[in-house]
């Protein structure tokens, strides 16, 4: 078992933490000594999440719990926050990572595909922020990190719904940062570019090469690189950083 980095336990929620960037963030925070509330949207993913929770506990000596919650539903999002507070006593860090894509050209996009992406990515972020902020305001401490995307900054053909949702997350971030700063609560957004995950693994080598050519660094990012940035923003060292959108895209949006 590795010894966690921080001596004072803090408690963190990472939505959509069963795989990819969310799982990497959960691992990063666990390694730094945070108790972790893991989240998935349906019971079908609970068994995998429970195995991951046990792995984190064994590896880092922290406590990890699992909560099934659809963040697009306000009562479910509230239950997620309450679950963390009930188990650990507080919620100190919220990472809004849960998100979906339903890509397609705007002229052909189904209304339900637009609504679904906005509901999870944008409203889900708002729901969790609202529920967590009320707890953080009372304790006069908190770190909220919202996962946006370089697409929310620069746009992307075929992703008008996703781009709109992630641009909206930036608006939420900047507005909440102004509302909550006086209570010692920071709110920041992280905007990843192309990160090596299960979704990018499905791309052909030709597609990967074409995308890499658009990136100044000429490679995809790693989930751990995103997680390291989130870990910093969650830390005491980032206390004077709020309302910021930090692109981690290898120079793609330059």
Give how far Cα 138 sits from Cα of 77, 133, 135, 141, 195, Å.
19, 9, 5, 8, 36
Q: Residue 213 and residue 65: Cα distance in Å, rounded?
A: 41
Retrieve residue 83's tokens.
């679950």
Q: pLDDT value at position 4?
A: 55
pLDDT along the chain (254 residues), means of 10: 61 97 98 98 95 98 98 98 98 98 96 98 98 98 98 94 98 98 98 88 83 93 98 98 98 89
Q: What is the pTM of this model?
A: 0.94
Q: How many other CB atoms are there within 10 angstroms of residue 53's CB atom?
A: 21
Q: Residue 28 and residue 47: Cα distance in Å, rounded?
A: 21
CA 204: distance to chain centroid?
A: 26
**Helix, strand or coil for residue 192?**
strand
CA 46: distance to chain centroid?
A: 18
Where do the domains of the chain lie?
11-248
Q: Residue 67 and residue 220: Cα distance in Å, rounded?
A: 31
Helix (H) or strand (E) holding 228: helix 223-233
Query: What is the set of active-site residues?
Result: 162
**Helix, strand or coil for residue 19?**
coil
Q: pLDDT value at position 211?
A: 87
Q: pLDDT value at position 222?
A: 97
Please state which CATH number belongs to domain 11-248: 3.40.50.720
């Amino acid at each position: 078992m590795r010894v966690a980095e921080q001596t004072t336990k803090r408690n963190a929620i990472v939505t959509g933490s069963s795989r990819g960037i969310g799982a990497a963030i959960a691992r990063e925070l666990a390694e730094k000594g945070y108790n972790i509330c893991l989240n998935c949207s349906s019971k079908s993913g609970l068994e995998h999440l429970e195995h991951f929770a046990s792995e984190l506990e064994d590896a880092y000596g922290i406590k990890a719990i699992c909560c099934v919650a659809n963040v697009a539903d306000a009562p479910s999002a509230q239950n997620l926050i309450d679950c963390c507070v009930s188990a650990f006593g507080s919620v100190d860090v919220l990472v809004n990572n849960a998100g979906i894509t339903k890509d397609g050209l705007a002229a052909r996009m189904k209304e339900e595909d637009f609504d679904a992406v906005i509901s999870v990515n944008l409203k889900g972020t708002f729901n969790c922020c609202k529920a967590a902020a009320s707890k953080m305001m009372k304790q006069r401490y908190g770190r909220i990190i919202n996962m946006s995307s370089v697409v929310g900054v620069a746009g992307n053909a075929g992703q008008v719904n996703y781009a709109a949702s992630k641009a909206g997350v930036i608006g939420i971030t900047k507005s909440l940062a102004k509302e909550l700063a006086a209570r010692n609560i920071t709110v920041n957004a992280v905007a990843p570019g192309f990160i090596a995950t299960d979704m990018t693994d499905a791309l052909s080598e030709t597609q990967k090469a074409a995308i890499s050519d658009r990136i100044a660094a000429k490679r995809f990012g790693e989930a751990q690189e995103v997680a390291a940035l989130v870990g910093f923003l969650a830390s005491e060292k980032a206390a004077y950083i709020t309302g910021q959108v930090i692109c981690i895209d290898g120079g793609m949006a330059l």
